[in-house]
Structure 1
């Protein structure tokens, strides 16, 4: 890893890396984030960018080529271990939620990841801004989850500003034992006003309602709209889901592979006030739609690897009699 440069600001220093065994691309910089935590800044030549903290392997920013922030991070987020960062894209592994022996959403989101200097071969990328990270268990981790694994994460920006996260999890146990996990990309999208947002692609599907003891229901609406707290796990979902923000005339499209479920969450007003690292009114400007594998946990035998991928894009929406045609949005994106 070669050259260093110091910015004109005495308070901020950045290190520019040349690629080392595929660990960094030339479009990635290492910088200091909040509270001195290391972060990686990805930049595409057209102007889009993303930021990834080594703490949690956590994407905290995704901006389009106009510099508009597309992810929500709370103004009260605590960038201090062991607290996970509130917003962006926390990674839930090896447990989603609190149904299991581990802490809420597992421990990957509050561990320090390392740059992966020897990533596995990927298909030849069409993008240039990417970084590979890796997480392995510490001795303390093995005490609470007694398994050996390698979790490799690639974060990439496409030429059009799309954000791609690819996770590869391998069982490296030497005792012959399989392990089982659940997983989610806990993505917080930035929206203009939650009351002006609808989610397309999940209609008619079954879901578990976490507000009703995980009882199973079938979605009845033509689209999901928001008037109160929502915490649902949709099952056997399509590979493409759209989030339509009418006020901003913007549609987020989530494409996913290896992640059959989708979580939809907004805490609404009462829950927001009860969350210490979340602003009282911030629920109005965020929505979590999470590509996940929850209903059917993933089991890996020693040597086996699982891969889960999501790609996020933000495209302009056009009106038609005050309504957006969800099928056109999903088919054309």
Structure 2
């Protein structure tokens, strides 16, 4: 499998990176990425969805519900679902679009990516519209996705969407990486980097507010779209002494979501108490439509790092955390 094999560079003496195509318990095909220092990730061809990201100690860093349904046409609850060609619910498209519950193909001939010779562990996938997709969203496109593990374990997702309409029509879309992070206890989590920003509150008729706190903390259901968010956001888990650093490019907004207890009980693919151990922080392009003319391409990139930390309030220095990490 040409696109899902590691680079031809010689392996490191102690351990080599690898990319393996296999099947999960329900028979869905997936690609397992293993980085030389022991980090790993899994991406299902169904949905083009990352469903696991583990550090070199084997700790799972993404949340996937114990009740997740790994069977089409249901989207997989957890990991990093891809919301395209829409985030949310508009028009006659299904919620969050159709990319997250379609079968993607291995991309055997991807266009050149910017060269980063340090990254040797990656898989390339591609999604093109089916006849059924064209009935509900009548546009031709190519959606290319690269899932990569950088040396040291950073998880990098790069999406490239091209308008391949031959009739001269433009198309517009919204997008999100619906990222479910695994956390110790939602009530102990702080998100830094979104303070003072304007946001739309989806629990309050999408009214616009300005964030007042010095950090985001969680005491109830939250569903907010932060506008013009910075390129670096930190999610601090005091109990696990871990900080997730999320970096993004081409994705101006950030969605923060947790369903809390009442909504969780109404979700068949989420355990009643599982909301306590998950937090969605989602790089997105939601407020303003992305519009492509025929032949034009859009790119959106997310990089996730997990660093050991014992930060207390106000002591996070993102520049220090990110020192030496290339975006």
Fold shared by both chains (TM-score > 0.5)? yes
Distance 2:238 2:69 in 1: 31
Distance 1:243 1:330 in 2: 14
SS at match of 1:274: coil
Distance 2:114 2:178 in 1: 25
Distance 1:317 1:44 in 2: 22
Aligned to 2:321: 332
Q: 25, 32, 40: which is aligned to 1:34?
A: 25
Aligned to 1:25: 6
Contact 1:62-1:69 within 8 A present in 2 as well: yes
Contact 2:4-2:31 within 8 A present in 1 as well: no
Aligned to 2:73: 82
Contact 1:56-1:111 within 8 A present in 2 as well: yes
Matched, 1:304 2:296: yes
Distance 2:132 2:29 in 1: 22
Contact 2:4-2:21 within 8 A present in 1 as well: no
Aligned in 2, Cα 1:330/1:283: closer, same or farther, shift over 3 Å?
A: farther
Aligned in 2, Cα 1:230/1:115: closer, same or farther, shift over 3 Å?
A: same
SS at match of 1:143: helix
Equivalent runs, 1:2-21 vs 2, <5 Å: 20=2
Give the gaps of 5 or more residues in structure 1.
2-19
Give the gaps of 5 or more residues in structure 2.
8-17, 323-327
Distance 2:142 2:94 in 1: 20
**Alpha-carbon displacement from aligned partner over 1:276-316 (angstroms, at most 9, x marks no partner):** 10000000000000000000010000000000000000001
Count of residue pairs brought into register by the alignment: 311
Q: 46, 61, 65: which is aligned to 2:37?
A: 46
- Superposition deviation, residue 329 in structure 1: 3.2
SS at match of 1:140: helix
Distance 1:94 1:84 in 2: 15
SS at match of 2:318: helix
Aligned to 1:5: none
Aligned to 2:61: 70
Contact 2:4-2:20 within 8 A present in 1 as well: no
Distance 2:320 2:134 in 1: 45
SS at match of 2:26: helix
Matched, 1:157 2:146: no
- Superposition deviation, residue 331 in structure 1: 4.5
Aligned to 2:97: 106
Q: 182, 190, 210: which is aligned to 1:218?
A: 210
Aligned to 1:190: 182
Does 275-284 or 26-35 show the bigger shift?
26-35
Distance 1:122 1:103 in 2: 31
Aligned in 2, Cα 1:99/1:330: closer, same or farther, shift over 3 Å?
A: farther
Aligned in 2, Cα 1:243/1:330: closer, same or farther, shift over 3 Å?
A: farther
- Superposition deviation, residue 318 in structure 1: 2.5
Distance 2:185 2:91 in 1: 34
Aligned to 2:15: none
SS at match of 1:36: coil
- Superposition deviation, residue 323 in structure 1: 3.0
SS at match of 1:242: strand
TM-score, normalization by structure 1: 0.92
- Superposition deviation, residue 127 in structure 1: 1.1
Distance 1:266 1:290 in 2: 11
Distance 1:303 1:92 in 2: 22
Matched, 1:200 2:192: yes
Distance 2:104 2:313 in 1: 43
- Superposition deviation, residue 123 in structure 1: 1.8
**Alpha-carbon displacement from aligned partner over 1:213-254 (angstroms, at most 9, x marks no partner):** 110000000000000000000000000000000101100000
SS at match of 2:299: strand
- Superposition deviation, residue 24 in structure 1: 2.8
